[in-house]
Structure 1
Amino acid sequence: MDKPLKNPPTYMINSVDHALRIATMLQLEGELSVSEVAERLGVARSTAHRLLAMLVYRDFAVQDDRRLYRAGPVLELAAHSPSLASRLREATLPHLHRLVDVLGESVNLAVRTGDTVRFIASVECSQSLRVSSREGMVFPAHRTTAGLLLLAELADEELEAVYPAGRYADRPADRPDLDRLRTELARVRRNGFVLNQGRSERGVVALGVPLRSPDGGALAGLSVSMPSTRYHRHRLPSLVETLSRAAGAIEADLARQA
């Protein structure tokens, strides 16, 4: 259930992966303690402390007089000039927590960059069997719920630009069949949502709706993920309605901020 949707490098360097994840958390979330970092990474406090010490040494983090860590000089530009992704995350997180309370399943927010999507916010449910947090992870757009929602916004020529054949010359299997993808995206546009049954991960069902800007363009994909054993077709209308209401509330908050 917890296996990522993309393949890790052949020679996975866990310490580097942990450090990059900490940097992402500091940039997106703000202050963190050693205990919080250790819990999030699933490592010992001593390991978390060593990783944070290295980030401080390289100016990716700083420690204040309360012994809390925050983004350092290397990351502070983004902290003081919030990106669209960080503003989206801040506006969305309260709604994600409410969605988890209502649906009892894990929920996510993801944005698209080229042919990939990045999960910028994720809240896990409390059930013992659950879909784990995808926050900070990057996956192929055409294999994910949010990715399909956002690709559906593109015109044919824009879709071609996302998947030029030359870019995949040395890895043709990674390029989707564009005719088949266009058919799928047309269905997404008609339905207004994506139902992903095992497409990106075996045993997982995800359902998503777009999150739109005031001008109507899709900013991100809002989704709920659950073990396939807990999904039943009769739940589809209520799930879509609940997600759509949440998306509308987030859009209203973003409009007020703007």
Structure 2
Amino acid sequence: MNIVKKPGYAVDSVDRALQLIMLLQERDWLRITDAANALDVAPSTAHRLMAMLVYRGFALQDDQRRYCAGPALRADTAAGPARTAVSIARPHLVTLALSVRETVNLVERVGVTARYLFTAEGPQLLRVGNRTGTVLPAHLSSGGKAILATLPEPTVAQFYTGRQAQQSGSGLAVAELEGLQRELAEARTQGYAVNLGRTEADLAAVGAPLATAGRPAALAISISSPLSRAGDIQQPKVIQALHATCEAVLRELHADGVLPAA
């Protein structure tokens, strides 16, 4: 057995980044203070390293300033409770995709991002492809907006105007935040959020949250289509099918203990 020795030309910053990646793979969540202690560096150094990992998709940050492994580190993009949620939702999403003949996604909010945990592609030749592992801004995607709409307005405002938002570059200008709050108010009223070319020019989507009345959601289900079929996925029968699927998945998530009992 060969003994691997540390190279004499080792680059400390690279070594620390790799150690940080290993920590992200070992733990469900990691805070900057924990990372700094593990690496024996200042918190500011750990924060800079983590920010680069977030930028490259190796880490994701939630609104409690915790970090988890990003899509670049997860072949299945889901672990722990998320994997269980995918297992429960998969057959329902496949059934919905066949029913509405469009691509269906299970989406999780992590901080101000929307992470696509699973995709069931629609049967049509011209369709939206598999988005599993994709990470998009929550305020642009239909699933992300559907989840944000379950939160109080002040909480949403804090996400996009607080110090953390300014440091991470995810802050919104006043006009942008006002526009987002109007979209979320509309989503609360109609029960679903819409994305018309916001994340991709030729893509349309509708999303509904997996939410119990009075409780914020962590997950959503979205239906994606080419922009040319945007009107079709907003038809009442499609929205009804989307809501019915959300309710069915939510019941099973509660029964399995993935989400707290209603």
TM-score tier by shorter-chain length is 0.5 to 0.7
Q: What's the offset of the Cα at 1:171? A: 8.0
Residue deviations 1:7-50, cap 9 Å, x none?
xx9xx99xxxxxx868523464xxxxxxxxxxxxxxxxxxxxxx
Cα pair distance change 1:23/1:229, threshold 3 Å:
same
SS at match of 2:115: strand
Paired residues for 1:1-258 under 5 Å:
23-26=73-76, 28=78, 78=79, 82-83=80-81, 85-167=82-164, 169=166, 175=172, 177-213=176-212, 216-232=215-231, 236-258=235-257
Cα pair distance change 1:165/1:107, threshold 3 Å:
same
1:185 maps to amino acid: L
Q: Structure 1: where are the runs of 5+ without partners?
A: 1-8, 14-19, 29-77
Distance 1:129 1:145 in 2: 20
Distance 1:214 1:235 in 2: 23
Cα pair distance change 1:87/1:234, threshold 3 Å:
closer
Q: Do the aligned partners of 2:205 and 2:230 also contact (CA within 8 Å) in 1?
A: no
- Which shifted more, 184-193 or 234-243? 234-243
Q: Which residue of 2 aligns with 1:46?
A: none
Distance 1:241 1:210 in 2: 13
Residue deviations 1:185-217, cap 9 Å, x none?
111111111122212211211111111258744
Distance 1:97 1:233 in 2: 19
SS at match of 2:126: coil
1:130 maps to amino acid: R
Q: Structure 2: where are the runs of 5+ without partners?
A: 1-51, 57-69, 258-262
% identity of equivalent residues? 29
SS at match of 1:231: helix
Q: Do the aligned partners of 2:159 and 2:165 also contact (CA within 8 Å) in 1?
A: no
1:184 maps to amino acid: E
Distance 1:216 1:228 in 2: 32
Cα pair distance change 1:132/1:187, threshold 3 Å:
same
Distance 1:148 1:27 in 2: 21
Instruction: Number of aligned residue pairs: give it.
Output: 189
- Which shifted more, 137-146 or 212-221? 212-221
Cα pair distance change 1:248/1:165, threshold 3 Å:
closer
Q: TM-score, length-normalised on structure 1?
A: 0.64
Q: Do the aligned partners of 1:109 and 1:222 also contact (CA within 8 Å) in 2?
A: yes
- Which shifted more, 135-144 or 212-221? 212-221
Q: TM-score, length-normalised on structure 2?
A: 0.63
